[in-house]
Chain A
Amino acid sequence: MLSPERLALPDYEYLAQRHVLTYMEDAVCQLLENREDISQYGIARFFTEYFNSVCQGTHILFREFSFVQATPHNRVSFLRAFWRCFRTVGNGDLLTMKEYHCLLQLLCPDFPLELTQKAARIVLMDDAMDCLMSFSDFLFAFQIQFYYSEFLDSVAAIYEDLLSGKNPNTVIVPTSSSGQHRQRPALGEAGMLEGVEASLFYQCLENLCDRHKYSCPPPALVKEALSNVQRLTFYGFLMALSKHHGINQALGALPDKGDLMHDPAMDEELERLVVRSKLHRTSRQHRAKEPGAFGFQRREKQEALERVSSASVPMPYHYRWEPRE
Chain B
Amino acid sequence: MIPGKYRSVSGRAANNVNCGLHLVIQTSSLPEKNKVEFKLNKDTSSFPGRLLQHDLERNYSSRQGDHINLVSSSLSSFPILQRSSEEKILYSDRLSLERQKLTVCPIINGEDHLRLLNFQHNFITRIQNISNLQKLISLDLYDNQIEEISGLSTLRCLRVLLLGKNRIKKISNLENLKSLDVLDLHGNQITKIENINHLCELRVLNLARNFLSHVDNLNGLDSLTELNLRHNQITFVRDVDNLPCLQHLFLSFNNISSFDSVSCLADSSSLSDITFDGNPIAQESWYKHTVLQNMMQLRQLDMKRITEEERRMASVLAKKEEEKKRESHKQSLLKEKKRLTINNVARQWDLQQQRVANIATNEDRKDSDSPQDPCQIDGSTLSAFPEETGPLDSGLNNALQGLSVIDTYLVEVDGDTLSLYGSGALESLDRNWSVQTAGMITTVSFTFIEFDEIVQVLPKLKIKFPNSLHLKFKETNLVMLQQFNALAQLRRIDQLTIDPQGNPVVNFTLWKYYVLFRLSHFSMQKINGTEVTQNDMIMAERLFGILAHVASSELPQYRLISILGDARKKQFQYLLESKGKKPGIINEENNDSKRLVGENTNRATLNYTTRDFYNEKLEEIKEKKKFCKTYIEDLVKEATEINMKNEALQKLWPQMFIELVRDAVIEIRNKNSYMKLCLQQITDQK
User: Which residues of A approach B to under 8 Å, CB–CB?
Assistant: 11-12, 15, 21, 24-26, 28-30, 32-34, 37-38, 41, 46, 49-50, 52-53, 56, 58-59, 61-62, 64, 81, 84-89, 92-93, 95, 98-99, 102-103, 105-106, 109-110, 266, 269-270, 273-274, 277-278, 280-281, 284-285, 293-294, 297-298, 300-301, 304-305, 307-312
Contacts and interface: CB of A to CB of B under 8 A. Distances in A.
Nearest to B516: A277
Interface in B405-440: none
B18 interface: no
Contact of A34 (B547, B561, B595): B561
Nearest to A284: B523
Contact of A61 (B481, B523, B555): B555
A81 B618 CA distance: 23
Nearest to A53: B556
Contacts of B269: none
Nearest to A50: B556
B303 interface: no
Given A58-B554, A310-B553, A93 B482 contact: no
A223 B503 CA distance: 47
Contacts of B307: none
The 3 closest A-B pairs by CB, nearest first: A297-B598, A304-B601, A49-B556
A44 to B, nearest CB: 12
A83 to B, nearest CB: 10
Contacts of B546: 84-88, 266, 269-270
A52 B556 contact: yes
Interface in B548-591: 548-563, 565
B556 A311 contact: yes
B509 A99 contact: yes
A311 B509 CA distance: 33
Interface string B508-524: 11100000000010010
A69 to B, nearest CB: 14
A110 B618 CA distance: 11
Interface string B627-644: 111011101100010011
Nearest to B627: A32
A98 B507 contact: yes
Contacts, number: 183
Contacts of A293: 598
Given A304-B552, A310-B553, 12 more contacts: A21-B636, A37-B565, A49-B558, A106-B481, A269-B545, A281-B523, A293-B598, A294-B598, A301-B601, A304-B601, A304-B602, A311-B554
B537 interface: yes
B625 interface: yes
Interface string B594-613: 11011111100110010000
Contacts of A109: 482, 609, 614
Contact of A29 (B561, B614, B628): B628
B71 interface: no
B544 A89 contact: yes
B549 A273 contact: yes
6 contacts: A21-B633, A53-B559, A269-B545, A273-B549, A277-B538, A312-B557
A56 B88 CA distance: 145
Contact of A88 (B509, B545, B563, B621): B545
A14 B491 CA distance: 53
B480 interface: yes
A274 B541 contact: yes
Contacts of B508: 98-99, 102
A49 B556 CA distance: 6
B550 A294 contact: no
B417 to A, nearest CB: 26
Contacts of A106: 481-482, 547, 606
Contact of B618 (A21, A62, A64, A310): A64
A37 B383 CA distance: 48
Interface of B: 480-482, 505, 507-510, 520, 523, 534, 537-538, 541-563, 565, 594-595, 597-602, 605-606, 609, 614, 618, 621, 624-625, 627-629, 631-633, 635-636, 640, 643-644
Contact of A11 (B547, B548, B606, B640): B640
Given A99-B510, A310-B553, A29 B625 contact: yes
B469 to A, nearest CB: 15
A311 B557 contact: yes
A62 B545 contact: no
A66 to B, nearest CB: 8
Contacts of A26: 628
Contacts of A311: 553-557
A89 B636 contact: no
Contacts of B555: 53, 58, 61-62, 308, 311
A88 B546 CA distance: 8
Contacts of A24: 632, 635-636
Contacts of B541: 270, 273-274, 277
A22 B557 CA distance: 21
B595 A294 contact: yes
A273 B545 contact: yes
Contacts of B560: 308
Nearest to B504: A98
A15 B636 contact: yes
Contacts of B632: 21, 24-25, 28
B549 A269 contact: yes
A128 B553 CA distance: 39
Contacts of B551: 61-62
A307 B601 CA distance: 11
A132 to B, nearest CB: 10
A230 to B, nearest CB: 40
Given A105-B481, A301-B598, A93 B509 contact: yes
Contacts of B550: 58, 61, 81, 84-85
Contacts of A34: 558, 561-562, 565
Given A28-B628, A105-B481, A309 B601 contact: no
A81 B640 CA distance: 35
Query: Which of B505, B507, B546, B633 gathers most chain A CB within 10 Å?
Result: B546
A309 B557 contact: yes
B597 to A, nearest CB: 6
Contacts of A307: 552-553, 602
A9 to B, nearest CB: 12
A58 to B, nearest CB: 4
A32 B628 contact: yes
Contacts of A84: 546, 550
Given A310-B553, A311-B553, A277 B520 contact: yes
